[in-house]
Copies of this chain bind each other. A is one copy, B any other.
Amino acid sequence: MPKQVDHRERRETIARALWRVVERRGATHLTMREVAQEAGISLGQLQHYFGSRAQMLSFAMDFAGEQSARRLGLAMGALGGRPHPRDVLRAMLVEQLPLHADARATSRMSAAYVLEALHDEEVHARARGGLLQGRATVEQLVRQAVADGQLAPDRDPEVETDLLLALTGFATLLELDVVGPDAVLTAVDRHLDRLFAAPGDVGGDVAGR
């Protein structure tokens, strides 16, 4: 089915053009005309693939999600056969943060998408759906860790999941250079160390650090 492949390829080309525009000029002023120009096609051709700005943004977000999942898959592969849930959660969290160029593009796209979601029901539903799915994956990992005795049984999986998701708040602090990459990784590791600390462990700093 070469035609379908072409169609998919063309949409990916457009999504990448959209990312470049977002990376360079921000999503604030993003227009379909500008994306068409960047992708080297006419506005009419672009509109053949996407009926609206929201549809174009949604596809670009889905595609970014696929790329992010692919990177996470590679990171998980590097962790070996039966990785510790702490390492899995760390890989998932770190992938959400703008710590390298690809993740930065995704993170900026995502921030633009959230703003768009506040005023577009369809975008809101899709963005919410993606985040709820991510939240469910994290909660499942936390519950399994409790069942496997890697997490203290008195931890509330829902609260722990929410606190882990909140760490994605580091994205803004990184983008605005308020907290540096090393400090963010230190803080994420400290949070995870405490989460997986044995009961009775104070969870403070290691002596002499």
Measured CB to CB, the residues of A under 8 A from B are 24-28, 30, 108, 111-112, 114-119, 124, 127-128, 131-132, 135, 152, 154-156, 158-159, 162-163, 165-173, 175-179, 183-184, 186-187, 190-191, 194, 199-205, 207, 209
Tell me if A114 and B172 are in contact (CB < 8 A).
yes
Number of copies: 2
Tell me if A166 and B165 are in contact (CB < 8 A).
no
> Measured between C-beta atoms, what is the minimum distance from A197 to chain B in Å?
8
Query: Which residues in B have their C-beta under 8 angstroms from that of A128?
Result: 176-178
Tell me if A131 and B173 are in contact (CB < 8 A).
yes
Interface of A: prevailing SS: helix
Query: Which residues in B have their C-beta under 8 angstroms from that of A203?
Result: 194, 203
A124 to B175, CA, bound (A): 9
A112 to B26, CA, bound (A): 11
Tell me if A204 and B115 are in contact (CB < 8 A).
no
Tell me if B152 and A165 are in contact (CB < 8 A).
no
Q: Tell me whether A179 and B201 are in contact in the complex, defined as CB-CB below 8 angstroms, given that A26-B115, A28-B112, A112-B115 are known contacts.
A: no
Q: Which of B118, B159, B209 contacts A186 (CB 8 A)?
A: B159
> Measured between C-beta atoms, what is the minimum distance from A154 to chain B in Å?
4
A173 to B191, CA, bound (A): 19
Query: Which residues in B have their C-beta under 8 angstroms from that of A154?
Result: 202, 204-205, 207
Query: Which residues in B have their C-beta under 8 angstroms from that of A207?
Result: 154
Tell me if A166 and B175 are in contact (CB < 8 A).
no
Q: Which of B115, B156, B178, B202 contacts A135 (CB 8 A)?
A: B178
